[in-house]
């Protein structure tokens, strides 16, 4: 039996073991029970209830509008579908930026009200103190550096980060600060593969890349993106594993047609 199959429930320890054994960590997002159940049955290691919920579920342009209550609501549904994967919850914009205590209180609220195993915070040196306080209370924290979408208005665009030496050094220092503060894992978003490689060998905790190349210890994508649910959104780091938008549209059209043609329901589908 392989190490991945042997692990009955993914914990911070199992992720550290996977990095040590150079076995890539797999992660995807979920916002509902059925998707979470399918992901867990497929053997995914981490399910992130990402604040991408704001974009792909709520239809907002940025991740900023999603609230604590909404993140908690969706996490409760996700957690019910999961037996093996680690469920991680994004702390939404302004749930931890105000003060260390506010972040601490909100991380505690997520852990108390959902069955998640960890929270995720965006930022590096800036949020290190908050990460320290949360982890010291026994709550595992996933870091997130590079392109951090909650700072989109500061960045001005979703272009990749870390192209200049100054920016690359800052991202490396951010990752180190997050690790030193106690994070068990760090998401690296939209940075050059060479920088992600440097970070992944400079920190001992696993790195999970999104648009950060193959050298990260694991990979994450936003599930509706990789399923091809929105074919208009196709940045180069997203691979469409299917074209679910087409499949769903065909099914919807066939259903409409069958009803109009009185082919649905059939006698077998009636009482
Ligand atoms: O919100 C999200 O889905 C994320 C991933 C893109 C890492 O933070």
Q: Is 223 in the pocket of ligand 1 (CB under 6 A)?
A: no
What is the per-residue pLDDT for 142? 98
User: Splitting the chain (271 residues) into consecutive groups of 10 residues, what average pLDDT does each group show?
Assistant: 81 98 98 98 98 97 98 98 98 98 98 98 98 98 98 94 98 98 98 98 98 98 96 90 97 98 98 98
Q: For atom 2 of ligand 1, which residue has the closest CA? A: 50
What is the per-residue pLDDT for 232? 82
Instruction: Tally Cβ neighbours within 10 Å of residue 99.
Output: 11
Q: Which atom of ligand 1 is nearest to the CA of 122?
A: 8
Angle between helical axes of 165-181 and 193-202 (0-180°, round to 10): 30
Active-site residue set? 189
Rounded to the nearest angstrom, the distance between the alpha carbon of 244 and the centre of ligand 1 is 20
**What span, in angstroms and rounded, lies between the C-alpha atoms of 264 and 104?**
54
Rounded to the nearest angstrom, the distance between the alpha carbon of 262 and the centre of ligand 1 is 44
3-state secondary structure of 43: coil
Q: For atom 4 of ligand 1, which residue has the closest CA? A: 50
What is the per-residue pLDDT for 184? 98
What is the per-residue pLDDT for 107? 98
Rounded to the nearest angstrom, the distance between the alpha carbon of 201 and the centre of ligand 1 is 22
210 contacts 188 by C-beta, under 8 angstroms: yes
Query: Which residue is it, tokens 């909404």?
Result: 70
**What span, in angstroms and rounded, lies between the C-alpha atoms of 186 and 153?**
22
Q: Is 52 in the pocket of ligand 1 (CB under 6 A)?
A: yes
- Chain centroid offset of residue 84 CA: 16
Kind of pairing between the strands at 118-120 and 86-90: parallel
Q: Is 51 in the pocket of ligand 1 (CB under 6 A)?
A: yes
Cα Rg, the chain, nearest whole Å: 20
Q: Is 53 in the pocket of ligand 1 (CB under 6 A)?
A: no
Q: Is 90 in the pocket of ligand 1 (CB under 6 A)?
A: yes
- Model-level pTM greater than 0.85? yes
What is the per-residue pLDDT for 113? 98
What is the per-residue pLDDT for 234? 87
Q: For atom 8 of ligand 1, which residue has the closest CA? A: 50
Query: Which residue is it, tokens 């040196």?
Result: 125
226 contacts 240 by C-beta, under 8 angstroms: yes
What is the per-residue pLDDT for 2? 78
Angle between helical axes of 100-113 and 68-80 (0-180°, round to 10): 30
Rounded to the nearest angstrom, the distance between the alpha carbon of 124 and the centre of ligand 1 is 16
Query: Residue 207, exposed/middle/buried by CB under 10 A (0-12, 13-18, 19+)?
Result: buried
What is the per-residue pLDDT for 77? 98
Kind of pairing between the strands at 25-29 and 218-221: parallel
Q: What is the helix (H) or strand (E) element at residue 24, kind and residue range?
A: none
């Amino acid at each position: 039996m392989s190490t991945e199959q042997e692990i009955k429930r993914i914990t911070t320890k199992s992720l550290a073991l996977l990095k040590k054994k150079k076995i890539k960590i797999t992660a995807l997002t979920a916002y509902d029970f059925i998707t979470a159940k399918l992901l867990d049955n497929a053997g995914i290691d981490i399910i992130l209830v990402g604040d991408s919920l704001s974009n792909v579920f709520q239809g907002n342009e940025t991740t900023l509008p999603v609230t604590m209550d909404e993140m908690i609501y969706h996490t409760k549904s996700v957690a019910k579908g999961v037996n093996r994967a680690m469920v991680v919850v994004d702390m939404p914009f302004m749930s931890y930026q105000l003060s260390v205590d506010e972040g601490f209180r909100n991380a505690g609220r997520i852990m108390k009200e959902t069955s998640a195993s960890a929270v995720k915070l965006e930022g590096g040196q800036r949020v290190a103190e908050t990460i320290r306080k949360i982890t010291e209370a026994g709550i595992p924290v996933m870091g997130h550096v590079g392109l951090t979408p909650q700072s989109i208005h500061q960045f001005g665009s979703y272009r990749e980060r870390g192209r200049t030496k100054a920016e690359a050094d800052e991202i490396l220092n951010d990752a180190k600060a997050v690790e030193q503060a106690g994070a068990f894992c760090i998401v690296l978003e939209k940075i050059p593969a060479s920088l992600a490689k440097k970070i992944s060998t400079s920190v001992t905790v696993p790195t999970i890349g999104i648009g950060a190349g193959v050298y990260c210890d694991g990979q994450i994508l936003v599930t509706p993106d990789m399923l091809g649910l929105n074919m208009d959104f196709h940045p180069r780091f997203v691979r469409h594993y299917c074209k679910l938008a087409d499949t769903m549209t065909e099914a919807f059209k066939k259903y409409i047609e069958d009803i109009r043609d009185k082919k649905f329901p059939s006698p077998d589908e009636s009482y």
